[in-house]
Amino acid sequence: MSHRSGRHFLQIPGPTNVPDRVLRAIDMPTMDHRGPEFAELGHEVLDGLKHVFQTQQPVVIYPASGTGAWEAALVNTLSPGDRVLMFETGHFATLWQKMATRLGLAAEFVATDWRRGADPAIAEAKLKEDRAQTIKAVCVVHNETSTGVTSRIGAIRKAIDASGHPALFLVDTISSLASIDYRHDEWGVDVTVAGSQKGLMLPPGLSFNAVSEKARKASQNAKLPRSYWGWEEMLAANKTGYFPYTPATNLLYGLREALRMLREEGLKNVFARHDRHAEATRRAVRAWGLEILCAVPEEYSSSLTAVMTPPGIDADHVRNVILKAFDMSLGTGLGKLAGKIFRVGHLGDFNDLMLMGTLAGVEMGLELAGVPHKKGGVRAAMDYVAAYAGRARTERAAA
């Protein structure tokens, strides 16, 4: 491959662009993870994470991809043969369900057409039916990265409460944390699973469990075998700022910087930025005359948009044309959506002009790949973003 000048556009829905500040923070000599300096770093990241999860509860950090944190959530809280209620919202929910089955859990999988989120009414009905309370956990993927659909976690919490059922609530926020409003404590989530490589703007390699009191209690009786993933040793060591095994030191430097950046911008502003870019993207898609995969407007994802290509047009061909011509990577269709959609990531370290470059690359790519469409998607997005910036300017002047 010869050198291509300028920055590659990494517009898959994670891993996301790593900001220079984070890259520079990682590019430091590795320190003694048992030395005195380390505890300061450990305390800062462990405390700082609570803000992002909107929790007062402890957050466990694993040197692992998100899949590891999925496993940790299950093996710490459940026993062989336990029933778990899961929702087939897309490819990632399916992988989590397969993992649960492999671990020896009895996963009940509520089907969807992969165009909508987990239905709170179904959760309530299933839990009400379970008079013997044999369902031990409800597992939901907050933002289904394969479809661009965000399930309503607050509404599902209410449904669980309305059923009066004591099941644990486990939620995957791998592509929503630090991009879409998410409240571990307020929504009574018992284990929140997250990863480093999306809204947290880090490279892949760290993953997380935010853990409620109720989940810690459940872990005392949970019988699934666990060793590396066990919470208790980890939480005991974390009290002093250390880890029971070698942590990913340089990624923790990066995490410290990313948490500082999120605080500087303010979580509310981070969420508003993601909402704005998602809305601008949807306006572009509609102007092109293409269809958004998510069928429920109140479940539109703010971190990515999945775009359906017209019947007979291979979405991967469109992606390949865009990669070759404009050096931009878009997300592929996963599982049964292969070839039918492409996914535009608009999460993480991202701004208005990066979005415009992204949408311009898509619009030019549609033309080059021979996809029937109308022009004017970028224009529609520009109008929306410019009007937003205009309103913000007026508000600042008035303040």
Q: Least distance to ligand PLP from the beta carbon of 61, Å?
A: 14
Which of 66, 120, 148, 361 touches ligand PLP by CB under 6 A?
Answer: 66
Quick one: tokens of 182?
A: 């998410």
Name all contacts of 160-167 with Cβ < 8 Å and 24+ positions apart: 160/123, 160/124, 160/127, 160/188, 161/188, 162/124, 163/123, 163/124, 163/127, 163/128, 165/127, 165/128, 165/130, 165/133, 165/135, 166/133, 167/85, 167/127, 167/133, 167/135, 167/136, 167/137, 167/138
**Rounded CA separation 27/38 (Å):** 16
148 is an interface residue for ligand PLP by CB under 6 A: no
Q: How many residues bind ligand PLP (CB under 6 A)?
A: 12
Residue nearest to ligand PLP (CB): 66
Q: Least distance to ligand PLP from the beta carbon of 118, Å?
A: 13
End-to-end CA distance of the chain: 52
β 135-141/143-144 pair status: unpaired
Stretch binding ligand PLP (CB under 6 A), from 51-59, 63-71, 315-323, 371-379: 63-71
331 is an interface residue for ligand PLP by CB under 6 A: no
195 is an interface residue for ligand PLP by CB under 6 A: yes
Q: Least distance to ligand PLP from the beta carbon of 350, Å?
A: 17
Write out the binding residues for ligand PLP, residues 169-188 only, by CB under 6 A: 172, 174-175
Q: Which helix (H) or strand (E) holds 207?
A: strand 207-211
Which of 59, 84, 86, 141 touches ligand PLP by CB under 6 A?
Answer: 141
Nearer to ligand PLP, 163 or 303 (CB): 303
**Rounded CA separation 114/105 (Å):** 23
Nearer to ligand PLP, 200 or 287 (CB): 200
Stretch binding ligand PLP (CB under 6 A), from 27-35, 119-127, 155-163, 167-175: 167-175
209 is an interface residue for ligand PLP by CB under 6 A: no
Q: Helices 249-265 and 267-288: crossing angle, nearest 10°?
A: 80
Cα torsion angle, 379, 384, 387, 389, sign: negative
Contact 309, 337 (CB under 8 A): no
Nearer to ligand PLP, 92 or 288 (CB): 92
22 is an interface residue for ligand PLP by CB under 6 A: no
151 is an interface residue for ligand PLP by CB under 6 A: no
Which of 9, 12, 14, 365 touches ligand PLP by CB under 6 A?
Answer: 14
229 is an interface residue for ligand PLP by CB under 6 A: no
Which of 92, 169, 253, 384 touches ligand PLP by CB under 6 A?
Answer: 92
**Rounded CA separation 67/96 (Å):** 8
Q: Least distance to ligand PLP from the beta carbon of 242, Å?
A: 25
Contact 332, 319 (CB under 8 A): yes
Stretch binding ligand PLP (CB under 6 A), from 60-68, 182-190, 241-249, 342-350: 60-68
65 is an interface residue for ligand PLP by CB under 6 A: yes
**Rounded CA separation 153/32 (Å):** 40
Q: Kindly give, in sequence order, each residue whose CB lies less than 8 Å from that of residue 44, ignoring residues fewer than 6 positions away.
A: 256, 259
Contact 325, 5 (CB under 8 A): no
Nearer to ligand PLP, 16 or 358 (CB): 16
Q: Kindly give, in sequence order, each residue whose CB lies less than 8 Å from that of residue 102, ignoring residues fewer than 6 positions away.
A: none
Nearer to ligand PLP, 163 or 196 (CB): 196
347 is an interface residue for ligand PLP by CB under 6 A: no
Q: Least distance to ligand PLP from the beta carbon of 199, Å?
A: 11
Q: Kindly give, in sequence order, each residue whose CB lies less than 8 Å from that of residue 71, ignoring residues fewer than 6 positions away.
A: 99, 103, 229
Q: Helices 91-102 and 66-77: crossing angle, nearest 10°?
A: 40
**Rounded CA separation 133/126 (Å):** 10
Nearer to ligand PLP, 92 or 300 (CB): 92
**Which spans of this chain sit near ligand PLP (rule: CB under 6 A)?**
14, 65-67, 92, 141, 145, 172, 174-175, 195, 204
